[in-house]
């Protein structure tokens, strides 16, 4: 239920911010323009897949285990299967083809799914934390008086929920490895590996539930500063769309020459602290082929979003058909 509710909120964010341009970043450097909705649509895809995984998981994990000491049902004579079937029916569990109490792949898969879910929450948390940093100032967790404040710095607004989501992701990841290790069980009743599950299973569920709860707070009232996103998109003075200029010039003067001229223009823009458009307009090799209006259009980041908005649309349509 928590997973589905977070999915709905992410769905709403993607739809609302479908066309809001912002800087896309690779290696923590501005790369090409995207939209905030596109970024959120990537989050949406992760949680759609988690819902698929959860639906698939049920049939493998929700299986009754009742099979006596060594798993043969010998103590029940010829009534063993009948008793097992009755118990499965009472508990609304599936019946196994054979005893599985030393085959722990179902439990290991469960915790690894929780690790995937919290890992996705951790990815969202890192995005939010960096975007909430003073220098970015693009998003904020909801404001609650006193929450996220520092004991000595009243101006602080720390992203507490994101920090907890990230911490949970790290802890559940460790438990996922422990559960895989606990699969290595000896003979028909293990001597100890399954005791490790007593730590990993409950803690993984608690941490995952806690991370989803924090995501409810962080995403439920997420403050998105679209004006700041646009300002950050403009801090490179058009350099973020140097590729767009190159691709726009390529049909006219050839790709390699376009690359070399735009490269020189970028260097000039850096050296002279001017915009890419100004640097291009100062180059006869450019202005001989394109006019000022074309240069201004090519250097506007909002004109080089690719199919980001359309990808949001496709993600929203795909998400609407996910299992609940």
**Which of 55-69, 136-150, 210-224 has the least mean pLDDT?**
136-150
The arithmetic mean of pLDDT across residues 129-158, rounded, is 80
pLDDT one-digit tens code per residue, 5-25 = 888 999 999 999 999 999 999
Check residues 97 and 151 and name the one with the higher pLDDT: 97
The arithmetic mean of pLDDT across residues 309-315, rounded, is 96
Q: What's the residue count for the chain?
A: 324
Model confidence at 192, pLDDT cuts 50, 70, 90, reads: confident
pLDDT for the residue 274: 94
pLDDT surpassing 70 at residue 275: yes
pLDDT one-digit tens code per residue, 79-112 = 999 999 999 999 999 999 999 888 999 999 999 9
Residues classed as catalytic: 150, 189
pLDDT for the residue 324: 56
Which own/partner contact pairs does 136-140 have at CB distance under 8 Å and 24+ positions apart?
136/228, 136/232, 137/225, 137/228, 138/22, 138/224, 138/225, 138/228, 138/229, 138/232, 139/222, 139/223, 139/224, 139/225, 140/222, 140/223, 140/225
Give which of 121, 323, 108 is closest to 210, Cα–Cα. 121
DSSP 97: S
């Amino acid at each position: 239920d928590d997973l589905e509710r977070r999915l709905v909120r992410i769905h709403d964010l993607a739809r609302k911010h479908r066309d809001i341009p912002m800087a896309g970043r690779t290696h923590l450097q501005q790369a090409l323009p995207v939209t905030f909705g596109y970024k959120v649509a990537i989050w949406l895809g992760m949680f759609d897949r988690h819902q698929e995984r959860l639906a698939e998981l049920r049939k493998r994990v929700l299986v009754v285990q009742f099979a006596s000491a060594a798993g043969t049902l010998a103590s029940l004579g010829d009534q063993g299967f009948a008793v097992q079937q009755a118990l499965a029916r009472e508990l609304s569990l599936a019946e196994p083809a054979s005893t599985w109490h030393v085959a722990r792949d179902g439990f290991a898969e469960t915790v690894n799914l929780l690790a995937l879910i919290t890992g996705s929450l951790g990815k969202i948390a890192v995005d939010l934390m960096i975007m909430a940093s003073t220098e970015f100032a693009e998003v904020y967790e909801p404001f609650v008086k006193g929450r996220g404040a520092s004991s000595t710095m009243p101006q602080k607004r720390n992203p507490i929920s994101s920090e907890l989501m990230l911490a949970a992701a790290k802890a559940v990841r460790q438990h996922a490895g422990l559960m895989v290790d606990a699969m290595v069980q000896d003979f028909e009743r293990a001597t100890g590996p399954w005791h490790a599950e007593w730590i990993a299973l409950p803690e993984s569920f608690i941490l995952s539930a806690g991370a989803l709860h924090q995501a409810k707070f962080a995403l439920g009232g997420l403050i998105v500063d679209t004006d700041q996103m646009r300002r950050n998109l403009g801090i490179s003075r058009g350099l973020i769309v140097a590729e767009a200029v190159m691709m726009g010039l390529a049909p006219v003067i050839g790709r390699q020459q376009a690359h070399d001229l735009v490269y020189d223009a970028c260097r000039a823009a850096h050296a002279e602290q001017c915009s890419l458009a100004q640097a291009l307009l100062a180059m006869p090799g450019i202005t001989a082929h394109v006019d000022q209006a074309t240069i201004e259009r090519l250097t506007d980041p909002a004109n080089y979003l690719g199919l980001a908005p359309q990808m949001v649309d496709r993600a929203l349509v795909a998400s609407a058909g996910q299992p609940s």
